[in-house]
């Protein structure tokens, strides 16, 4: 078990790199109802994991209140923080204040911090005033204390264990503690290196499937269903459906999930990558895992799995030790199902009929602190980029010329597969591939839902160091020239152009070309008898924002389909009014 | 009172509009009304057809680097 870290402020850049995955799991946690939170807090591993995911100031507040038996006045929370009272910031504009409020808000939405209002009598003025006190959630406090002190509950803690024990039908005697989970390694041949290789093979296999590489072993139906459910991939029929809906956001996939569940592996293997799927590929491996796990949580709820059990297990995995085998006998029924599922993602290694499972690096790095997380992900990154022992493969390898020819120094099949999504590859050598970006190749990527911005972004972030040096030299030359002639406005507009501008523009143009036509359903109004009617309807329509096109000279306008009933109502009202007052009546 | 015609408004640049007009001449019954240089009122059921035709025409007009590369390669191997 890793020791919890004191609430220190970690350096900024590491915090940013883990920001994405943190925000998504945090969002999920925040939106859970209080009763679920209460249940979650009964597990000390979960408390520890939640604690780790909080911002530094929230951690600090928890630590300050943790061993404080009674409640503390709310105003103390402000006193513990040194606010920078510079004149630049006023009120809630102050960044320290914003950060503090955010931290407190997180604690409240997780129901960790409770506010209690108490009526007090002021000691001097003798006036009754209401003072707000704060207190930690009782269950959370107890669990986190236990987690930190390593206190073993025997008789004192039985009450909180009851609900967990009742879930653990299979073995009532054993408690859910980490300590009872330890079991001597039976298979000594399962080493950390083996686990690393295993989990990466599993995970890369999924990524390969997403980019459409020919692979021997297709991921399981469970994985494929999740990929489709999360919108990372879609069936050709889904795509037709979406295109028929004219790109409108479609929730139907979500609704007929039950039916999808029955789709066979033969249907599911036709899955195609979507725009979100491509974005997913560009992320770091840990954020990818979190993204999928959160989708898994949402799906698990639909399958009537207990979310508390599921979350507890995920968080539990985060506090297990790599290379150590754990007995499966302490797992609940739900968790046994999960064991099977998580195996498909490479989070867990478990041999059939074996009573022991092994968490892999993907699982144990889930909730780790940013620093340890960094090293874990670095290790994984290195693993990925080291099939041929050259570290340069994964980043900084792409050269693109103004004639759209592209050279990529890589031997990673995954990167080649990603390139293959939008590049017409011509030749492959032992350490590089060459190809051309063509209209057709970009269009096929665009049709797959990948945007031009994504392609450009990918090329930019993976540009070869030579490209960057060249761009910097160019930039410096221009900068010197413009500053020598004192052209300040040009100086401001100078940008570092890593990719040839022609290529960027052309890729953008190709995207524009794909949607040359914009279409709107609705009604064309014409043949108005007089200006008065026309103006009246038009101005009403413009007020409520339903007019898409108008021509005042020819007295025509076009109304969107959704807005039409409102306009007709209004027109009928006018007709009624005008028939009541014959003065305004116009000859037909 | 005025008349309302159900249809689909499409917005595009003049060059595309003229292509749509040409498609309409070839296949009929697509355009209900030409509104201005950049707007047309069309039959909603024909939209996918128009898009497909436009793609075909535009693809014909675009430059494909492989078209003129291959004969050269052949010539090079022969020469």
CATH number of the domain where residue B22 is located: 3.30.70.1220
| Domain-embedded: residue B16 | yes
Choice among A26-35, A279-288, A440-449 with the minimum mean pLDDT: A279-288
Q: Which of A492, A481, A474, A571 is nearest to A532 (CA)?
A: A571
CA separation for the pair A302, A481 (Å, rounded): 63
Cβ–Cβ gap A440/B16 under 8 Å: no
Cβ–Cβ gap B11/A549 under 8 Å: yes
For residues A570 and A459, membership in a common domain is answered with: no
- pLDDT over 50 (residue A382): no
Quote the pLDDT of residue A153.
53
- Is A561 within 8 Å of A522 (Cβ atoms)? yes
For residues A408 and A334, membership in a common domain is answered with: no
Q: Which of A441, A454, A437 is nearest to A281 (CA)?
A: A454
| Domain-embedded: residue A297 | yes
Task: Give A528's contacts in chain B (Cβ within 8 Å).
Answer: 2
CA separation for the pair A52, A56 (Å, rounded): 9
Task: Give A424's contacts in chain B (Cβ within 8 Å).
Answer: 66
- pLDDT over 70 (residue A175): no
Closest residue in A to B50 (Cα–Cα): A517
Quote the pLDDT of residue A102.
82
A504 alpha-carbon distance from chain centroid: 27
Quote the pLDDT of residue A504.
92
Quote the pLDDT of residue B66.
66
| Domain-embedded: residue A68 | yes
Domain stops at, among A139, A154, A169: A154
Quote the pLDDT of residue A13.
34
Quote the pLDDT of residue A76.
80
Quote the pLDDT of residue A434.
93
| Domain-embedded: residue A509 | no
- pLDDT over 80 (residue A573): yes
- Convert A214-239 into a string of H (helix), E (strand) and C (coil): CCCCCCCHHHHHHHHHCCCEECHHHH
Band of pLDDT at residue A162, cut at 50, 70 and 90: very low
- Give Rg (Cα) of chain A: 30
**CA distance, residue A560 to nearest chain B CA (Å):** 9
Of B7, B50, B63, the CB nearest to A524: B7
| Residues 6+ positions from A582 with CB-CB distance below 8 Å | none
Q: Which of A208, A345, A212, A203 is nearest to A270 (CA)?
A: A212
- pLDDT over 80 (residue A388): no
CATH number at residue A114: 1.10.10
Domain stops at, among A371, A401, A423: A371
| Domain-embedded: residue A517 | no
For residues A42 and A119, membership in a common domain is answered with: yes
For residues A347 and A237, membership in a common domain is answered with: yes
Quote the pLDDT of residue B29.
83
- pLDDT over 60 (residue A482): yes
Quote the pLDDT of residue A444.
83
| Domain-embedded: residue B60 | yes
Band of pLDDT at residue A435, cut at 50, 70 and 90: very high
| Domain-embedded: residue A23 | no
| Domain-embedded: residue B2 | no
For A209-229, b/e burial (b = at least 16 CB within 10 A) is bbbebeeeebbbbbbbbbbbb
**Which position has the higher pLDDT, A533 or A390?**
A533
Mean pLDDT of A372-383: 40
- Share the mean pLDDT of chain B: 79
- pLDDT over 60 (residue A412): yes
**Which position has the higher pLDDT, A160 or A321?**
A321
- pLDDT over 90 (residue A369): no
- pLDDT over 50 (residue A588): no
Of B2, B9, B47, the CB nearest to A527: B2
- Is A230 within 8 Å of A273 (Cβ atoms)? no
Order across the sheet with A128-136: list the strands: A72-73, A128-136, A113-121
> Chain B interface, mutation test: which of A246, A558, A568, most B Cβ atoms within 10 Å?
A558
Quote the pLDDT of residue B1.
62
- Share the mean pLDDT of chain A: 74
Q: Which residues constitute the domain of residue A141?
A: 32-154
- pLDDT over 50 (residue A253): no
**CA distance, residue B64 to nearest chain A CA (Å):** 7
- Is B1 within 8 Å of B9 (Cβ atoms)? no
Cβ–Cβ gap B1/A575 under 8 Å: yes
Choice among A249-263, A444-458, A459-473, B48-62 with the minimum mean pLDDT: A249-263
Task: Give B24's contacts in chain A (Cβ within 8 Å).
Answer: none
Of B1, B44, B51, the CB nearest to A517: B51
Q: Which residues constitute the domain of residue B40?
A: 8-78
Which residues of chain A from 533 to 562 reach within 8 Å of chain B, CB to CB?
Answer: 533-534, 537, 548-549, 551, 556, 558-559
Task: Give B9's contacts in chain A (Cβ within 8 Å).
Answer: 519-520, 522, 524, 548-549, 558
| Domain-embedded: residue A170 | no
Cβ–Cβ gap A404/B54 under 8 Å: no
**Residue A377 backbone class (left: φ over 0; alpha: ψ -120 to 50; beta: rest):** alpha
In chain A, % of residues over pLDDT 70 = 75
- What is the domain count for chain B? 1
Cβ–Cβ gap A526/B2 under 8 Å: yes
Band of pLDDT at residue A158, cut at 50, 70 and 90: very low
Cβ–Cβ gap A533/B3 under 8 Å: no
Task: Give A526's contacts in chain B (Cβ within 8 Å).
Answer: 2-3, 5
Quote the pLDDT of residue A27.
78
CATH number at residue A569: 3.30.70.2610
Query: Complex ipTM above 0.85?
Result: no
- pLDDT over 50 (residue A255): no
- pLDDT over 70 (residue A378): no
For residues A202 and A141, membership in a common domain is answered with: no
* Number of Cα atoms under 13 Å in the Cβ half of residue A132: 9
Tell me the C-alpha to C-alpha distance, in Å, between residue A14 and each of A373, A377, A458, A525.
9, 12, 21, 59
Mean pLDDT of A47-64: 84
Closest residue in B to A424 (Cα–Cα): B66
Mean pLDDT of A194-211: 81
Choice among A79-88, A437-446, A531-540 with the minimum mean pLDDT: A79-88
Choice among A263-277, A324-338, A434-448, B35-49 with the minimum mean pLDDT: A263-277
- pLDDT over 60 (residue B56): yes
Best-predicted range by mean pLDDT among A252-266, A522-536, A572-586? A522-536
Quote the pLDDT of residue A117.
80
Which of the 8 DSSP states describes residue A512?
H
- E strand spans, A335-381: 348-350, 356-359
Tell me the C-alpha to C-alpha distance, in Å, between residue A226 and each of A208, A335, A502.
16, 18, 39
| Domain-embedded: residue A360 | yes
**CA distance, residue B72 to nearest chain A CA (Å):** 16
Cβ–Cβ gap B2/A524 under 8 Å: no
For A69-85, b/e burial (b = at least 16 CB within 10 A) is eebbebeebeeeeeeee
For residues A233 and A275, membership in a common domain is answered with: yes
**CA distance, residue B48 to nearest chain A CA (Å):** 9
Bridge partner list, A398: A408, A463
- pLDDT over 80 (residue A476): yes
Of B8, B35, B64, the CB nearest to A556: B35
Q: pTM for this one?
A: 0.56
User: Which residues of B touch chain A, with CB atoms under 8 Å apart?
Assistant: 1-13, 16, 20, 32-33, 35-36, 39, 41, 44, 47, 50-51, 54, 58, 62-66
- What is the domain count for chain A? 4
For residues A203 and A336, membership in a common domain is answered with: yes
Choice among A104-118, A214-228, B2-16 with the minimum mean pLDDT: A214-228
> Chain A interface, mutation test: which of B6, B7, B8, B9, most A Cβ atoms within 10 Å?
B9
A438 touches chain B (CB under 8 A): yes
For residues A410 and A286, membership in a common domain is answered with: no
**CA distance, residue A307 to nearest chain B CA (Å):** 44
Closest residue in A to B9 (Cα–Cα): A520
Choice among A268-282, A383-397, B41-55 with the minimum mean pLDDT: A383-397
| Domain-embedded: residue A401 | yes
A161 touches chain B (CB under 8 A): no
| Domain-embedded: residue B13 | yes
Task: Give B50's contacts in chain A (Cβ within 8 Å).
Answer: 517
Task: Give B51's contacts in chain A (Cβ within 8 Å).
Answer: 517
């Amino acid at each position: 078990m890793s020791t919890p870290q004191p609430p220190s402020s970690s350096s900024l850049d590491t915090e940013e790199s883990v920001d994405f995955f943190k925000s998504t799991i945090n969002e999920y946690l925040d939106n859970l109802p209080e009763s679920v939170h209460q249940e979650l807090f009964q597990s000390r591993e979960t408390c520890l994991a939640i604690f780790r995911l909080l911002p530094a100031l929230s951690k600090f507040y928890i630590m300050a209140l943790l061993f404080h038996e009674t409640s503390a006045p709310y105003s103390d929370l402000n006193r513990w923080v040194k606010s920078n009272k510079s004149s630049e910031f006023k009120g809630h504009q102050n960044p320290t204040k914003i950060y503090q409020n955010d931290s407190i808000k997180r604690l409240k939405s997780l129901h960790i911090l409770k506010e209690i209002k108490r009526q007090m009598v002021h000691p001097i003025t003798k006036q009754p005033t209401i003072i707000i006190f704060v207190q930690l959630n009782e269950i959370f406090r107890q669990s986190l204390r236990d987690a930190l002190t390593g206190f073993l509950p025997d008789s004192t803690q039985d009450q909180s264990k009851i609900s967990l024990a009742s879930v653990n039908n299979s073995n009532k005697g054993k408690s859910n503690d980490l300590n009872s989970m330890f079991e001597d390694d039976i298979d000594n041949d399962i080493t950390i290196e083996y686990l690393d290789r295993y989990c990466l093979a599993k995970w890369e296999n999924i990524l390969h499937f997403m980019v459409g590489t020919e692979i021997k072993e297709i991921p399981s139906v469970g994985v494929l269903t999740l990929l489709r459910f999360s919108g990372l991939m879609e069936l050709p029929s889904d795509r037709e459906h979406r295109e028929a809906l004219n790109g409108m956001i479609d929730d139907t996939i979500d609704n007929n999930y039950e039916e999808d569940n029955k789709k066979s592996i033969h249907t599911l293997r036709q899955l195609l990558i979507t725009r979100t799927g491509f974005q997913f590929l560009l992320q770091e491996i840990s954020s990818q895992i979190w993204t999928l796990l959160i989708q898994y949580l949402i799906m698990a709820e639909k399958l009537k799995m207990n979310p508390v059990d599921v979350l507890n297990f995920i968080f539990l995995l985060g506090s297990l030790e790599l290379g150590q085998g754990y007995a499966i006998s302490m797992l609940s029924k739900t968790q046994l199902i999960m064991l099977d599922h998580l195996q498909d993602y490479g989070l867990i290694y478990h041999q059939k009929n074996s009573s022991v499972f092994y968490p892999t690096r993907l699982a144990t790095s889930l909730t780790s602190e940013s620093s340890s997380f960094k090293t874990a992900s670095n290790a994984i990154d290195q693993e990925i980029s080291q099939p041929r022992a050259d570290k340069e493969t994964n980043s900084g390898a792409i050269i693109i010329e103004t004639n759209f020819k592209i050279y990529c120094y890589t031997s990673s099949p995954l990167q080649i597969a990603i390139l293959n999504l939008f590049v017409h590859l011509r030749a492959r050598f032992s350490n590089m591939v060459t190809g051309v970006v063509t209209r057709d190749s970009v269009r096929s990527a665009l049709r797959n839902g990948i945007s031009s911005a994504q392609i450009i972004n990918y090329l930019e972030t993976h540009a070869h160091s030579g490209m960057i040096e060249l761009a910097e030299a160019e930039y410096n030359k221009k900068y010197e020239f413009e500053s020598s002639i004192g052209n300040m406005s040009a100086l401001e507009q100078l940008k570092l152009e890593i990719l040839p501008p022609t290529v960027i523009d052309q890729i953008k143009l190709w995207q524009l070309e794909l949607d040359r036509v914009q279409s709107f359903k609705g009604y064309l109004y014409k043949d108005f008898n007089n200006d008065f009617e026309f103006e009246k309807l038009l101005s009403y329509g413009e007020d409520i924002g339903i007019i898409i096109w108008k021509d005042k000279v020819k007295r025509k306008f076009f109304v969107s389909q959704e807005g039409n009933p409102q306009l007709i109502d209004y027109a009928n009202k006018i007709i009624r009014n005008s028939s009541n007052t014959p003065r305004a009546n116009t000859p037909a | 009172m005025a008349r309302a015609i159900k249809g689909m408004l499409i917005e595009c640049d003049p060059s595309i509009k003229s292509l749509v007009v040409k498609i309409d001449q070839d296949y009929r019954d697509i355009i209900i009304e030409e509104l201005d240089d950049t707007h047309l009122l069309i039959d909603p059921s024909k939209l996918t057809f128009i898009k497909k035709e436009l793609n075909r025409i535009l693809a014909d007009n675009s430059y494909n680097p492989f078209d003129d590369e291959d004969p050269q390669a052949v010539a090079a191997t022969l020469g």
